[in-house]
Structure 1
Amino acid sequence: MSDRPGESSKADRPGESSKSRTAVPQTGGRTVTTSIPARLDRLPWSRWHWRVVIGLGTVWILDGLEVTVVGNIAGRLSEEGSGLAISSAQITGIAAALYVAGACAGALFFGRLTDIFGRKKLFMVTLAVYLGATALTAVSFEAWWFFLFRFLTGFGIGGEYAAINSAIDELIPSYYRGRVDIVINGSFWLGAIGGSLLSILALNTDLFAANVGWRLTFALGVVLGLVILLVRRNVPESPRWLLIHGREEEAERLVSTVEAEVAADTGRELPPVTREITIRQRKSVGFGTIARTVFATYRRRAALGFSLFIGQAFLYNAITFGFGAILTTFYDVPTSDTGYYFAFIAAGNFLGPLLLGRLFDTVGRRVMISSTYLLSGLLLFGTAWLFDRGSLSATTLTACWCAVLFFASAGASSAYLTVSEVFPMETRAMAIAFFYAIGTAAGGITGPLVFADLTESGVVGDTVLAFQIGAALMCVAGLVAAVLAVRAERRSLEDIAVPLTATGAPSAVRSGGT
């Protein structure tokens, strides 16, 4: 089978209201006709949407903080008097690998549960796992304890990616979905900047003892997580998920409440509802059905997701995995100063999604995804050529990296956006989890194996080769996107991929529009 067509409609049915209606029960559950997805998509931006973004999207800042802090404190933890008998190699090797393994396992484990038990239950559970594991990391007294809770911290963060991306895409109106998702995924780099600056402060022995400062960095992550948890309590379950799982009355009440709040906030009448869909409710969808849907029915989209995640994972490893070693080896930059260079390229990483995100909704997904991948790959090829010629200093090399990552970060964020919107709702969280696990494993396991020796050898040609590998894979992914990317901009999720529970494609509502 090939991909289902993205959009189709049935004949208008006169006299239908915009509310959910239940038909005679059939095998597998009741059949319900509803306009709830269309009602969510036609909402103007409001303070309610900001609460969703703040409550759900800020977790990426925590991830960036976590990853950066651990990399920056590796040297301090290995020093005598740190309170933990552990080597720098164990931190950057074993602990980093366990965090990655935990993230992959957590994404797959919680991704499946998110599709079964709902978005809200799981995005509360995954944040609680993160908070508990981070707090216990701060009180580490032995290396094995540190390793165990680095794994569990990653386990919680991985689960967050599946639960949060699916919830955001199902709550944010289609007109804004692309830019919001792109910026939220790019906010990882705000956490990276904060982690770099926090490490400089916390590791200052004039302010904190050697066995205290590094613990405070993890404690701050707990404090930020608790604030997010308080905000997140007010974020509702996805009405789309409620509808499919036989809780249409709850979904109806929720959407009506949101509509009233948005109308009062914006001070204008909401646009009429123009679409509705008929679904047969089901409590769950089997794993075999999910696998067939993703890898058979939507195999072209699966190939697209695989290409995007692998491309961005290898590019980031080509540049960032050995960036400290490159600066110190080729440009004699003191180890204590590499954090400033990292903060600079992290800023470029965030500015890309921030400034380019809107174009994914206006210019379109296919043009923007392919162009950001291709531009970042070509710029990295150019950087490799200049580096090979000896034409770059530490500052100009960092400036080149910043330009590459400006486009690459928007492209990498679009990979998460793509896999969260191009598969049916019943498979959404699991699809996100699967492709996230692929990208994370490639970046955290395969990447170091490929790039560690190349970027740390001290041989110019080896580092050039690392750059070229990352650049080539980004260009290949960009070409795949130019052919396979789905035109999902400003379209309902149900139009992009018809739910497995749908009895037909979304249809127009005669009483409310076209």
Structure 2
Amino acid sequence: MHKQSIVHEQAIASMAGRIERLPVCGFHRRFISLIALGGWFDFYDIFMMAYIGAAMQNSGFLTRDEFTLTISAGFLGMFLGTIVFGMGSDRFGRRTAFLFMLLIYSLFTLLGAFAENAWQLIVLRALAGLGIGAELTVIDTYVSEMVPSRVRGRYVAITQVVGFTAIPVVALAAKLLVPTHWLLEGWRWVMLMGAGGALFVWYLRRKLPESPRWLEIAGRHPQAEAVMSAIEDQVRHSTRAELPAVPAIAVTTGAKASLRELWQPQYRGRTLLLAVFHLLQTIGIYGFANWAPTFLLAQGKSLGESLEYGFLIALVSPVGPLLCVLSTELFERKWAIVVLATLMAASGMLFPFADTAWQIVATGAVLTLFTYWFSAVLHAYQAELFPTRVRATGVGFTYSISRLSVILSTPIIGLLLAHGVLPVFLFMGAAMLGVALLIAAFGPRTNALCLEEVSR
């Protein structure tokens, strides 16, 4: 029995070491491309409502209260989906959860495009949210486990760069299609674009390998060996060279994924840290992202102006994650989060005072740049804090708080907006300053450390 335990621990250490030694090559780029494509449609779906929501309100399909409920319903679905599928990927695998989630949100977004009234749309957005909910947490977990630690933050950030290019695309689609009424109302075509593309990516993702780290932890040693050997063969073929020696990495084995483990003394502090972090950060990120065109309508701009300004602001969306790609391995991620949260709070206070077109676009663009740079860093950071056996459970559970935060903060934003845009930005700025103080005081350092070392 003792001998079996030692062999089991060495096998797991071997998987981590074998991944760590791999030179970055074509295999990693193909893997990230497929992952990022799925993330692209996730971002498209999440931010879509901000742009077509303004059109729905303007046309009378939704009232402002119904729009609030639609946003809240989508994030309620995401809240449940993040917990269920986050834990599910620890039970059934990263790849399996990935494919299933993508299929769910594609189907219900497709049905949402044909909703006959506000209440049908609200229900369908909640169901689509089940699939969308854990997508980003599984991406963070999957990528973190599949690439060497020296490029972990950069590769997670690359998925964010690709994902955030969806925002200018959906903004442009809304700008061009919303005014049309060819067979269907324009906003319905915007939804159909997202649903159709995701089905294509679902086909592509059949080529993804399972995480060898997860397979070992799950006790599927022959599968882990087969997948890892296939990956190593691809790397050898790509680099035309033999692989370096396997470094010795100690890995602690344990029980299967359980929420209970998150509250054990070793991880309780990190669980609470990320839970409060996500409760606050979402107010800053989605407060602006979900409401930007509506803010402009509230300031007296026309629907056309709101969509045009929204599109111009959205053009800078990929720039923030791109800056993260270039800097994330140079600067400690903990302190990058602190600085960027503070810059979000400061730049957000300029937007309510913008009046002319260039002021609106410039202040919105600066806020967007800092916001999505922050987002890219946080997605790399959160996946580093838990061990492989409960990584998706830990990230999924704490990240679900961000979805709950949107549900709670959306009505608050709606009420504050009745008193003008400035109170909304004061609310969001206070939340981001809270994030900066929290991470500065309690956030651990993670850069360039092997996952097994960070989570020890």
Q: What TM-score comes out, normalization by structure 1 length?
A: 0.80
Secondary structure, aligned partner of 2:244: coil
SS in 2 for 1:362: coil
How much has 1:23 moved relative to structure 2?
6.6
Task: Find the aligned partners of 2:328 and 2:48 in 1 and give their Cα distance.
Answer: 31
Mapped contact 1:139–1:215 kept (Cα < 8 A): yes
Relative to structure 1, the CA distance from residue 249 to residue 437 in structure 2 (aligned partners, 3 Å threshold; closer, same or farther) is same
**2:233 aligned with 1:260:** yes
> Deviations 1:133-157 (Å, cap 9, x if unpaired)?
1222233345444333211111000
Cα separation, partners in 2 of 1:314 and 1:71, compared to 1, 3 Å = closer
Give the letter aligned to residue 439 of structure 1. Answer: S
TM-superposed deviation, 1:352? 1.0
1:228-267 map, 5 Å: 228-267=201-240
Pairwise CA distance, 1:64: 2.7
- Per the alignment, residue 315 of structure 1 pairs with 284
Structure 1 segment 391-470 matched on structure 2, within 5 A: 392-442=355-405, 444-458=406-420, 463-470=421-428
1:216 corresponds to: 189
Alignment deviations for residues 88-109 of structure 1 (CA, whole Å, 9 cap, x no partner): 4465122222111101011111
Identity within the alignment, %: 24
* Equivalent runs, 1:331-370 vs 2, <5 Å: 332-370=300-338
Contact 1:240–1:251 (Cα < 8 Å) also in 2: yes
Name the amino acid aligned to 2:376: S
Q: Give the structure 1 partner of residue 160 of structure 2.
A: 185
1:450-494 deviation per Cα after TM superposition (whole angstroms, max 9, x unaligned): 222333434xxxx33332332232223223323333221122111
Task: Give distance in 2, aligned partners of 1:71 and 1:146.
Answer: 15
Corresponding residue SS for 1:487: coil
CA-to-aligned-CA distance 1:277-322 (integer Å, 9 cap, x gap): 355465x24432x2324xx322332343234323321223553454
Deviation at 1:344, TM superposition (A): 2.7
Structure 2 partner of 1:17: none
Structure 2 distance, partners of 1:78, 1:333, is 14
For 1:492, the equivalent position in structure 2 comes to 450
The yes-or-no answer on 1:377 pairing with 2:345 is yes
| Distance of aligned partners of 1:304 and 1:361 in 2 relative to their CA distance in 1, 3 Å threshold | farther
Q: Determine the C-alpha separation between the residues in 2 that align with 1:278 and 1:321.
A: 42
Question: AA paired with 1:379?
Answer: S
Q: 1:43 aligns with which of 10, 14, 22?
A: 22
| CA apart distance, 1:201 | 2.7
1:501 corresponds to: none
Greater share of helix: 2
CA 1:354/1:320 → structure 2, altered by over 3 Å: closer, same or farther?
Answer: same
Aligned to 1:203: 178
Q: Tell me, what secondary structure is at the counterpart of 2:316?
A: helix
Q: Which TM-score applies when normalising by structure 2?
A: 0.90
Q: Deviations over 1:369-414 (max 9, x none)?
A: 2222222223334x27xx5xx5753421331232233222222332
C-alpha distance in 1 between matches for 2:321 and 2:409:
24
1:55-134 aligned within 5 A? 55-74=34-53, 86-89=61-64, 91-134=66-109
The structure that has the greater radius of gyration is 1
Q: Is the 8 A contact 1:308 1:412 kept in 2?
A: no
Q: CA deviation at 1:241?
A: 0.7
Q: Which is worse superposed, 31-40 or 235-244?
A: 31-40
Partner of residue 175, structure 1: 150
Q: Compute the displacement of 1:433 (Å).
A: 1.5
The aligned amino acid for 1:247 is R
Shift of 1:189: 3.0
RMSD of aligned C-alpha atoms? 2.8
Q: Could you tell which deviates more after superposition, 479-488 or 126-135?
A: 479-488
Q: Does the Cα contact within 8 Å between 2:175 and 2:311 map onto a contact in 1?
A: no
Question: 5+ unaligned residues in a row in structure 1: which ranges?
Answer: 1-21, 499-514
Hey, what's the Cα distance between the residues in 2 that align with 1:271 and 1:394? 56
Deviation of residue 32 (structure 1)? Answer: 4.1
The one of 264, 281, 287 equivalent to 2:259 is 287
